[in-house]
Amino acid sequence: MRLVLALTLATAAAGFAAPAFADCGEDIKAVMTLATSSGPYRMETQVKAASGDMTMTGEMVPPAAIRTKTVIGGMTQEMVFVDGRGWMNTAGSWSELPAEVAGQMSAAVKATGPDMLAGITAPQCLGTQSVDGRDYLAFSFDYAVSGINTSTTIYADPATRRPAKLVSSSEVAGQKTETAITYTYDPAIRITAPL
């Protein structure tokens, strides 16, 4: 299972002339690396797809603690990964995942981090753009993973260069999926085993 990085939602952007950058691909990787190297953070994710909408809240305490709460079709699932162990709550009761499953899930989550961006194509530095009344540094790129082609735009805080919003659009078997993520950095986030 992969945490959502193939994300979407086109937003209106008022643009200024994009500054010239030596390597937008490296700039994009640096911005995304700041998400995972700036302490605990939260990702609020909205996915819109023909097969149904999904919301997910993911809290991360890098490098190894993760808590997710996913709602699909009115069903809620929670998962926690701490120190290589994992737990799942699907019907109000927590159970520990087998070590092999926890390891696979942890590896899949880590695979959606900045290392996944090694294969990006068409990187662009879009300059300053306004979204929801705030100015951000905007970057876009395409990538493909597991046969899914995705176009993504990242909006980074101009002062910290950390991602603030990420929107993307992907297509699988002719069906379009749009995803929007909002990042919040919060040193008070703590993740502990639920059992």
Give per-residue pLDDT as tens, 10-30: 222 222 233 334 489 999 999
Position with higher pLDDT, 51 vs 111 = 51
- Picking from 55, 53, 18, 40, the residue whose alpha carbon sits closest to that of residue 187 is 40
The mean pLDDT value for 120-127 works out to 93
pLDDT of residue 129: 97
CB-hemisphere CA count at 13 Å for 94? 13
Share of the chain above pLDDT 70, in %: 84
- Taking 50 as the threshold, does the pLDDT of residue 109 lie above it? yes
Fold of 14-185: outer membrane lipoprotein receptor (LolB), chain A (2.50.20)
Residue spans per domain, the chain = 14-185
Contact yes or no for 150/6 (Cβ under 8 A): yes
Instruction: Calculate ∠ Cα 124-39-93, nearest 5°.
Output: 110
How high is the pLDDT of residue 7?
28
